[in-house]
Homo-oligomer: A and B are copies of this chain.
Amino acid sequence: MTDVVNRQILLASRPDGAPTPDNFSLVERPVPEPGDGEFLCRIVYTSIDPYMRGRMSDAKSYTAPTAIGAVMGGGSVGQVVASRVDGFAAGDFVLTYNGWQEYAVNRPKGVRKLDPAAAPISTALGVLGMPGMTAYAGLLEIGKPADGETLVVAAASGPVGGTVGQIAKIKGCRAVGVAGGAEKCAFVTGELGFDACVDHRSADFAERLAAACPDGIDIYFENVSGHVFDAVFPLLNPFARIPVCGLIARYNATEPPPGPDRLPMLFRDVLTKKLTIRGFIVTDFHARQADFLRDVGRWIGEGRIRYREDIVEGLENTPDAFIGLLGGGNFGQLLARRDPWPTEPAVRRQRDGSFPRVPVLAPGLRGN
C-alpha cells in the first residue's frame, strides 16, 4: 500500500430534516494492519444509497442506527492489499460493507469475491448488487408481474427503479416510469426501454400518469412515497400489489403532510380493491440471491437490462452527493470513487452523465 492515511467520514450529529454537511466529519486515521485471519481492503467504490438516511436517525427501524462518531456504513467494492487469511490474496476484488472510508480490515465472513472479468466491479454495488436484488426480489416475490399488466415505478432512472421496469418488461408488463426532468425521462424510455416515463415535476403530473396508464395500475413498486403515491393511488386496479422498499420523499420529513387523514381512505381501497401492500428489505429474500445473480447476469449479458452509474470522484465529496441524492440530484447509481487507480479494470464513468453501453463484460475492455 502506498497511502499512510485512512480517510473516514463519520456521522457527527443526527440531522433534523434534510442532512447538512455539518452532520458529517472527515477524519484522518492510520491505515489499519490486518491481524491473523484478516485482510486489509483498499476501497475503490463507495455506495451512496437513500436507505442511509434512515441509519442517521435514531428512530426505530429494521436495523440499529449508526452511532455518533462511527463511520457511515454502506456497501463498498475494494481490492485486497495485504492478507493474513487463506482464500484472499493481494489483488483480489471484494464486495464488503466498509462504508465511507478508504481502507478497512475485514474477516472473510460476508465478503463476496468479485470476478472483474465477469462484470465491471462497480455493478456489485448496483444492478448486480443490493439495488438490483431489491428490484428483482421485490418485483418477483411481491409484485408478481403477469403478462399484460401495468407496472409503475418511480426513480426510474435509478438502479432500483430502472431494474424493476426492465424486469417487468421481460415479464410482459407495460412499464411506466416516473422520473424528475426531461433528461431522465428520455433516458428511461430511450435507453431503458420503458413504455412511458412521466416527469413528476410537471404541473399536470397526475393527469399525465393517468394517460400513461390507460388500463390502470396492477403493480406499484413504491420507493419514493409523496406526491407520486398520491397520483398512483386512484389508478390502482383490483388486486394491485404494492411492494414497498423505500420512501425517499419522506426521509427528510419532520412533519406529516397537510390535509386530512388519508389512512382510512387507504384502508377503504385496500378492502374494496383487495390491494396488497408489503414492505420488505432486500435481505428478506436472501434465498433468491443465486437466482438473482444468474437471471440478472444473463439479462445484462443479453442487453435486456441496462443501467447507468453516477460517479463522484473522491471520498470527500460523498456527503454532498448523498444530500443531493435525497432530492433526486443523482442520475443513476450513485458511487464515490477513489482517485484514479491504474489497476482498476472497470469502465469509468464521469459525472458529466456519459452512459455506459452495457454489457461491458469483456475483460480486455477498458474505459477512459
A→B interface (CB under 8 Å): 54, 60-62, 222, 225, 229, 238, 244-247, 250, 253, 255-281, 284
Whole-angstrom distance from the CB of A226 to the nearest CB of chain B? 8
Whole-angstrom distance from the CB of A67 to the nearest CB of chain B? 19
Please tell me if the beta carbons of A273 and B279 are within 8 angstroms of each other in the complex. Answer: yes
Please tell me if the beta carbons of A260 and B256 are within 8 angstroms of each other in the complex. Answer: yes
**When chains A and B are docked, how far (Å) is the Cα of A261 from the Cα of B259?**
6
Please tell me if the beta carbons of B277 and A276 are within 8 angstroms of each other in the complex. Answer: yes
Please tell me if the beta carbons of B281 and A268 are within 8 angstroms of each other in the complex. Answer: no
**When chains A and B are docked, how far (Å) is the Cα of A92 from the Cα of B281?**
55
Please tell me if the beta carbons of B271 and A247 are within 8 angstroms of each other in the complex. Answer: yes
Please tell me if the beta carbons of A277 and B270 are within 8 angstroms of each other in the complex. Answer: yes
Contacts A256-B260, A267-B279, A270-B277 known; 20 new A-B pairs at CB < 8 A: A61-B272, A62-B274, A225-B264, A229-B267, A247-B264, A247-B268, A250-B267, A259-B261, A261-B263, A263-B263, A263-B265, A266-B266, A269-B279, A270-B278, A270-B279, A274-B279, A274-B280, A275-B278, A276-B278, A276-B279
Please tell me if the beta carbons of A268 and B284 are within 8 angstroms of each other in the complex. Answer: no
Most-contacted residue by chain B among A54, A263, A276 (CB, 10 A) = A263
Question: A274's contact among B253, B270, B276, B284, by CB below 8 Å, is which?
Answer: B284
Most-contacted residue by chain B among A229, A245, A276 (CB, 10 A) = A276
Whole-angstrom distance from the CB of A282 to the nearest CB of chain B? 11
Identity of the chain B residue whose Cβ is nearest the Cβ of A266 in the assembled complex: B263
Residues of chain B lying within 8 A (CB to CB) of residue A268: 247, 250
Please tell me if the beta carbons of B279 and A264 are within 8 angstroms of each other in the complex. Answer: no
Please tell me if the beta carbons of A261 and B261 are within 8 angstroms of each other in the complex. Answer: yes
Please tell me if the beta carbons of B262 and A256 are within 8 angstroms of each other in the complex. Answer: yes
Residues of chain B lying within 8 A (CB to CB) of residue A259: 261
Residues of chain B lying within 8 A (CB to CB) of residue A257: 261, 264
Residues of chain B lying within 8 A (CB to CB) of residue A279: 267, 269-276
Residues of chain B lying within 8 A (CB to CB) of residue A245: 271
Q: A238-B62, A260-B256 are in contact. Are A246 and B271 (CB under 8 A)?
A: yes
Residues of chain B lying within 8 A (CB to CB) of residue A272: 54, 60-62, 279
